[in-house]
A and B are shown apart, each in its own frame.
Chain A
Amino acid sequence: MADPTPALQGGLFRLAPDGTLTLVGGRSRSSGRLHFPLAAVCPWTGADDVEPSDLPRHGRLWAWTTVTAPPPGYAGPVPYGFGVVEFDVPGEADGEVLRIVGRITVADADALSAGDPMVVVAEELPTDDGPVRTWAFAPDTGGDR
């Protein structure tokens, strides 16, 4: 069944019937490197050989903070968590990492630590035109592995 909540922006992720959200990025065939969001050309190497690629869902917390005042154009709740999660890149670029920016489900920065296991989750966000679906990073308790 299709998600009744519209996506924040098309092409960023897929949502499975069980609520599992997978970010959709791109992978350059020549470099093996991943990127997000999916781009026509590899943003790291300029290679014109990008294929869509589901991104890993489990990563490590790399940098995080709290947004305490609503930034321009944002109608959702504050405070909210915001940060970068680091994912290991499997395959040809083994040993490489991809760092992705996103909201964090925990607003209290003191409740998080560097390297904490994190998982990509679906989040519903209020906007002036009704709720939208977006992605967020949540502490990974291991429940959905």
Chain B
Amino acid sequence: MTDVAVAVAGVGIHPFGRHGDLTATAMGADALRDAMAEASVGRGAFQAAFCATAYGGVAAGHRVLGALGLTGVPIVDVEAGCASGGAALALAAGAIRAGQYDTVLVVGIEKMPKGIIRSSFFPSWMETGGLAATPAYFALRAQRLLSDQGLTLDDLASVVVKNRGHGVHNPDAMFTKAVTAEEVLASRMVSPPLHLWMLCSPNEGAAAVVLRRADLVGPGAVRLDAAALRSHLPGSVLDESTPLSGIDDEGITPPTQLAADDAYEAAGLGPEDVDVVECQDTDAARELISWAELGLCAPGEQARILASGDANVGGVRPVNPSGGLLSKGEPLGASALGQVVELVRQLRGQAGPRQVEGAKVALAHTIGRGANASVVLLST
């Protein structure tokens, strides 16, 4: 196969939060129009669209493109849990690399109900039996992280303090107020060891990305070096696939690591090349697990990195400069593309007070129900 380079021609975002009666379709149209304007791509200038959503229902993408009078091309909805946006991006990039299309629209939309996410993933008897308690599965994983890697409750609070501190400078985030570790640890205990503020809030929003063959855009455009999607290997009882049983999972590679390995190989890059990261912080422990699975640090090294400020904006390699899901909230279909919007702005030097100076290579990571993990590498 020829070595076709893919570029990000434009990005757009509808702020993540709670937006009353505004529909997911309207938010998606808003984000997509901005991305297309930035890319100078209008009607007739693209050949396909992928729409990431988990709760959007039938023909969600058709509704978004229909709202802008853009239908006629193939429109495919993509569901891969929290990684839906990463999956849509992987499909779009793959089609461009294969020579099928030269310009593809990718949009992610979601309008989530409040409270614990209800997922058709669980059979009804598991719900009845109290076995569909999503945050409790996160808590079990957090407890094992603390005991296996020698981390503490204070380290979990530090993740929240870091991300909420970054979110102060992100007008597209849901929470823009800094918090202290004391406040985090004083917030309601949801499922030990996880306090309320250590968990992200399901919410509403949209994000959009226009991908083009790199030779169709200017030389300064951000390149999409890799977009990898993987599912879980069976075995781990704590995997995002939430099985009712598991075996000793030592030696079973987690889906995040599988996707990261694929992405690094495709891009010819390694973790040491990455300057800025947006990674899945569904809960504070999930971010720290992801650091190690992405190869950004050794297991157990997270406490030192948190204490040193290396993962803060201004540090060696900032993680979640957007504020992460802990600040933005998580509209499932939009969240992975929201990360890409943030990183494209970082690589262009357009991130304002949260700018990571001199960032050249960026990594976006999502992991969630399925299990699905996506890793996207961008560079300038």
Question: Are A67 and B245 in contact (CB-based, < 8 A)?
Answer: no
Q: Which residue of B lies closest to A31 (CB)?
A: B247
Cα distance A37–B126 in the bound complex, in angstroms = 12
Cα distance A25–B244 in the bound complex, in angstroms = 11
Question: Are B247 and A109 in contact (CB-based, < 8 A)?
Answer: no
How many Å from the CB of A107 to the closest CB on chain B?
11
Tell yes or no: B149 within 8 A of A by CB.
Answer: no
Question: Are A72 and B189 in contact (CB-based, < 8 A)?
Answer: no
Picked from B133, B140, B234, B245, the residue with its CB within 8 Å of the CB of A64 is B140
How does the 8 Å CB contact mask read for A23-65 relative to B, with 1 for contact and 0 for none?
A: 0010000000111110000011000000000000000000111
Question: Are A68 and B127 in contact (CB-based, < 8 A)?
Answer: no
Please report whether the interface of chain B is mostly helix, strand, loop or mixed according to DSSP: loop
How many Å from the CB of A28 to the closest CB on chain B?
11
Contact status of A99 and B247, CB under 8 A, knowing A63-B144, A82-B130: yes
Stretch from A14-22, A73-81, A137-145 forming part of the interface with B:
A73-81
How does the 8 Å CB contact mask read for B13-51 relative to A, with 1 for contact and 0 for none?
A: 000000000000000000000000000000000000000
Stretch from B68-76, B99-107, B159-167, B235-243 forming part of the interface with A:
B235-243
**A122 neighbours in B (Cβ, 8 Å):** none
B residues 117-138 near A (Cβ < 8 Å) are 117-118, 122-125, 127-134, 136
Cα distance A117–B60 in the bound complex, in angstroms = 50
Tell yes or no: A127 within 8 A of B by CB.
Answer: yes
Picked from A63, A69, A72, the residue with its CB within 8 Å of the CB of B127 is A72
Q: Bin the interface of chain A by size.
A: 35 or more
Picked from B128, B139, B191, B237, the residue with its CB within 8 Å of the CB of A101 is B237
Question: Are B247 and A100 in contact (CB-based, < 8 A)?
Answer: no
B residues 323-343 near A (Cβ < 8 Å) are none
Question: Are B190 and A63 in contact (CB-based, < 8 A)?
Answer: no
Question: Are A43 and B140 in contact (CB-based, < 8 A)?
Answer: no
**A120 neighbours in B (Cβ, 8 Å):** none
Picked from A36, A43, A67, A96, the residue with its CB within 8 Å of the CB of B191 is A67
Q: Which residue of A lies closest to B113 (CB)?
A: A72
How many Å from the CB of B254 to the closest CB on chain A?
16
Question: Are A102 and B140 in contact (CB-based, < 8 A)?
Answer: no
**A44 neighbours in B (Cβ, 8 Å):** 234-235, 247
Question: Are B130 and A9 in contact (CB-based, < 8 A)?
Answer: no
Contact status of A101 and B245, CB under 8 A, knowing A65-B192, A67-B136, A109-B192: yes
Please list 10 pairs of residues, one from A and one from B, whose beta carbons are closer than 8 Å in the complex, sorted by A's number.
A8-B125, A8-B128, A44-B235, A44-B247, A65-B140, A65-B192, A71-B134, A73-B122, A80-B130, A101-B243
Interface residues of A, Cβ cutoff 8 Å to B? 8-9, 25, 33-37, 43-44, 63-69, 71-76, 80, 82-84, 96-103, 109-110, 114, 125, 127, 132, 134
6 further interface pairs, Cβ-Cβ under 8 Å (given A73-B122, A134-B129) = A67-B191, A74-B128, A75-B128, A80-B130, A82-B140, A109-B192
Interface residues of B, Cβ cutoff 8 Å to A? 115-118, 122-125, 127-134, 136, 139-140, 143-144, 147, 188-194, 234-235, 237-238, 242-248
Q: A-B pairs with the 10 shortest C-beta distances?
A: A73-B127, A72-B118, A65-B139, A36-B245, A9-B125, A71-B133, A99-B237, A63-B140, A65-B191, A109-B192
